[in-house]
């Protein structure tokens, strides 16, 4: 996904957990989806954080950090990126996974976890880290990938979106194949056995995508609410949570796909959100603010 250029800054590795920040606030909305968001705190010291994924099996979450070396280096293959691990809403450690000569980690976007492995979408490759043993990372290169963005899993395989390529790949047994197409596809997730996706500035809508590619993607018809969508997650009741990177907001969409409500506003480039579905805790990477804000989703 293309990102607007920002000025490079000196990044402090100080980790901050705060519950009294003014930036990022709960928002009222004319529509109601039965959920509200309450801020629990935030973790600072990140370096252009793009995505968060929760790992229930290991009671933690992971954060991809691009760590810009140039102001417009969102896709630069510089091997300077890292993945942080969050435990109890603190970085432990900040640089949990880094790249190597054989498995470069340069501009990671989305993350997902399947069968004890952490999948990171990094430019035109998937870097797969072992979370159980000490195996070396594996690199998978989908054919003709342009810019891999967000992976998700149905429990059997990993699917990953390609934003500039407008396509989706399925990865299984370390092999990748193209299975679907959708212009400007960004974040993806599975909900109720369905593959759902959000798109960027041109269409900025939510789509149901056929993972076999036999049927064309079906838009929800909610584009008027958004500016440029980045991440998408699903609650157990079918409510969808989506982040609007350009709009600086997080929205909830009712299970019937008819009602859209603002959950959080005043955010700084909210990117690919992560959700702990059991505890109803939402992680919002705020890219240019170099932090992850943490929110509790509560039934009204």
Q: Could you tell me if residue 19 is inside a domain?
A: no
Q: Could you tell me if residue 182 is inside a domain?
A: yes
Contact 87, 59 (CB under 8 A): yes
Among 101, 172, 99, 112, CA closest to 120: 112
Measure the CA–CA gap between 297 and 166, rounded to whole angstroms: 32
**Which pLDDT does position 279 carry in this prediction?**
97
Measure the CA–CA gap between 212 and 170, rounded to whole angstroms: 9
**Which pLDDT does position 209 carry in this prediction?**
98
Q: Could you tell me if residue 13 is inside a domain?
A: no
Number of structural domains (the chain) is 1
Per-residue pLDDT of the chain (300 residues; tens, 9 = 90+): 445 433 333 333 333 333 344 456 655 444 579 999 999 999 999 999 999 999 999 999 999 999 998 999 999 999 999 999 999 999 999 999 999 999 999 999 999 999 999 999 999 999 999 999 999 999 999 999 999 999 999 999 999 999 999 999 999 999 999 999 999 999 999 999 999 999 999 999 999 999 999 999 999 999 999 999 999 999 999 999 999 999 999 999 999 999 999 999 999 999 999 999 999 999 999 999 999 999 999 998
**Which pLDDT does position 15 carry in this prediction?**
38
Measure the CA–CA gap between 160 and 119, rounded to whole angstroms: 10
Q: Could you tell me if residue 36 is inside a domain?
A: yes
Residue 22's Cα: distance from chain center in Å?
Answer: 24
The 10 Å CB-count burial string (b at 16+, else e) for 107-120 is bbbbbbbbeebbbb
Q: Domain residues for 245?
A: 25-292
pTM: 0.91
CA-angle at 212, arms to 210 and 214, nearest 5°: 75
Question: Which CATH number does the domain housing residue 58 bear?
Answer: 2.120.10.30
Q: Could you tell me if residue 62 is inside a domain?
A: yes
Q: Could you tell me if residue 121 is inside a domain?
A: yes
Q: Could you tell me if residue 245 is inside a domain?
A: yes
Q: Could you tell me if residue 299 is inside a domain?
A: no
**Which pLDDT does position 66 carry in this prediction?**
98
**3-class state of residue 289 by DSSP:** helix
């Amino acid at each position: 996904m293309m990102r607007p250029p920002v000025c490079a800054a000196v990044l402090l590795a100080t980790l901050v957990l705060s519950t009294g920040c003014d930036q990022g606030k709960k928002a009222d909305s004319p529509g109601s989806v039965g959920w509200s968001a309450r801020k629990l705190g935030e973790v600072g010291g990140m370096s252009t954080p793009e995505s968060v994924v929760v790992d229930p099996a290991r009671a933690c979450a992971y954060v991809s950090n691009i760590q810009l070396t140039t102001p417009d280096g969102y896709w630069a293959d510089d091997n300077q990126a890292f993945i942080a691990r969050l435990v109890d809403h603190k970085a432990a450690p900040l640089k949990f996974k880094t790249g190597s000569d054989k498995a470069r980690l340069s501009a990671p976007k989305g993350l997902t976890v399947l069968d004890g492995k952490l999948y990171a979408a990094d430019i035109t490759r998937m870097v797969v880290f072992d979370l159980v043993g000490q195996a070396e990372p594996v690199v998978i290169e989908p054919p003709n990938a342009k810019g891999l963005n967000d992976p998700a899993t149905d429990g059997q395989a990993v699917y990953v979106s390609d934003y500039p390529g407008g396509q989706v790949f399925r990865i299984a047994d370390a092999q990748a194949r193209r299975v679907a197409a959708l212009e400007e596809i960004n974040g993806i997730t599975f909900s109720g056995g369905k593959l759902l996706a959000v798109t960027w500035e041109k269409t900025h809508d939510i789509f149901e995508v056929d993972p076999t590619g036999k049927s064309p993607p079906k838009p929800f018809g909610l584009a008027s609410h958004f500016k440029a969508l980045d991440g998408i997650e699903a609650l157990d009741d079918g409510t969808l949570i989506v982040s609007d990177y350009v709009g600086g907001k997080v929205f909830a969409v009712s299970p019937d796909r008819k009602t859209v409500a603002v959950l959080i506003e005043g955010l700084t480039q909210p990117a690919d959100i992560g959700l702990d579905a059991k505890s109803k805790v939402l992680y919002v990477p705020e890219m240019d603010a170099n932090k992850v804000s943490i929110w509790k989703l509560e039934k009204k």
